[in-house]
Amino acid sequence: MVTLEMVVNELVAHAGDLDLAARFAQVDAQEVHTALEGADADSADGVVLRLLAKYNPLTED
Amino acid sequence: MAAPAVTLPGFAASMWMQTGATPTAFTTANLAVWTAQVATIVGTTANGTGASGTQLNVEAVPAFGQDDGVASFAIAGSRQSDKIPVQSAPTSLTISAAWNPSDAGLLLIRGDAYSGIIDRTYVIAAASGSTTIAYAFNGRCSQFQIDAQPGAEAKCTFTIHPRGNQYGWSNT
């Protein structure tokens, strides 16, 4: 199983279109938003998590 | 990092580049990270640290952004055609600089142009006081020309072609 950490690490090392890669990454929205709250905004992880959060919004049940 | 909620009246624009003959260009994510990434290319005059970068002494910072890319459609009999925006190519930056054979940055540019396959990270920094907004991108260099006609100061001209989608914004 691919963890969020693995996805983030892969995207941080990505040298192409980051937005496109993040759009099709398979992640859990809740996990992404939780991780984003604790991430440094001015870091590569923060950049990637913001993109993942954009394409994986939290849905209200 | 969120952009500073200030305007930059009369900001000073400057251009910076990675040093090293065979640099490792930033990953796309790191192009949008100021601390310990973009700041290492930008010099202290524009609020960076400059440990792995040098200023490119250009006559003027050129326009940057994207070209206009559209697919045009016309249907016989209809009054108006349609222009559908498509993903546009990044604008190539044609730059003039005073030619100084001792300038480390220009010599790197010349080497890149000879090679044609070296990806390097460039930064355009807009600084006002302690605030800097940086546009970082990866690009390759080509068409390096030296114009040494006797009637004027020798200058060189070259073109940086940004790699598609490899850019990021960051700020102090």
pLDDT digits (tens, 9 = 90+) for A32-46: 999 999 999 999 999
Q: Inform me whether the C-beta atom of residue A48 falls under 8 Å from chain B C-beta atoms.
A: yes
Nearest C-alpha of chain B: how many angstroms from A11?
A: 8
Q: How far apart are CA A32 and CA A49, in angstroms?
A: 6
Residue B2: pLDDT band by 50, 70, 90 thresholds?
low
Nearest C-alpha of chain A: how many angstroms from B28?
A: 5
Q: How far apart are CA B41 and CA B46, in angstroms?
A: 10
In a domain, B55, yes or no: yes
Tell me which chain B residue has its CA closest to the CA of residue A43.
B33
Q: Inform me whether the C-beta atom of residue A41 falls under 8 Å from chain B C-beta atoms.
A: yes
Note whether B33 contacts A43, CB cutoff 8 Å. yes
Interface test with B, best of A18, A19, A50 (most B CBs within 10 A): A18
Structurally, chain B folds into a number of domains equal to 1
In a domain, B5, yes or no: no
String of DSSP letters for A2-61:
--HHHHHHHHHT--S-HHHHHHT----HHHHHHHHHTS-TTSHHHHHHHHHHHHSPPPP-
In a domain, B79, yes or no: yes
In a domain, B1, yes or no: no
Q: Domain of B99? A: 12-171
Residue B61, classed as helix, strand or coil, is coil
Which pLDDT score is estimated for B3?
63
CA distances from A54 to A33, A34, B51, B58, B131 (A): 10, 13, 34, 38, 27
The residue type found at B22 is T
Note whether A47 contacts B33, CB cutoff 8 Å. yes
Q: Mind listing the pLDDT tens digit for each residue in B105-119?
A: 999 999 999 999 999
In a domain, B121, yes or no: yes
Which pLDDT score is estimated for B5?
60
Task: Name chain B contacts of A44, Cβ cutoff 8 Å.
Answer: 27, 29-30, 33, 37
Q: What is the pTM of this model?
A: 0.89
Residue B7 pLDDT exceeds 60: yes
Q: Across the interface, which of A14, A43, A46 has its CB nearest the CB of B27? A: A14
Q: B82: domain CATH number?
A: 2.40.30
The residue type found at B32 is A
Q: Inform me whether the C-beta atom of residue A54 falls under 8 Å from chain B C-beta atoms.
A: no
Q: Which helix or strand (DSSP H or E) is residue B18 part of? A: strand B12-18
Residue B168 pLDDT exceeds 70: yes
In a domain, B148, yes or no: yes
In a domain, B89, yes or no: yes
In a domain, B4, yes or no: no
Q: Are A8 and A43 in contact (CB under 8 A)?
A: no
Note whether B27 contacts A15, CB cutoff 8 Å. yes
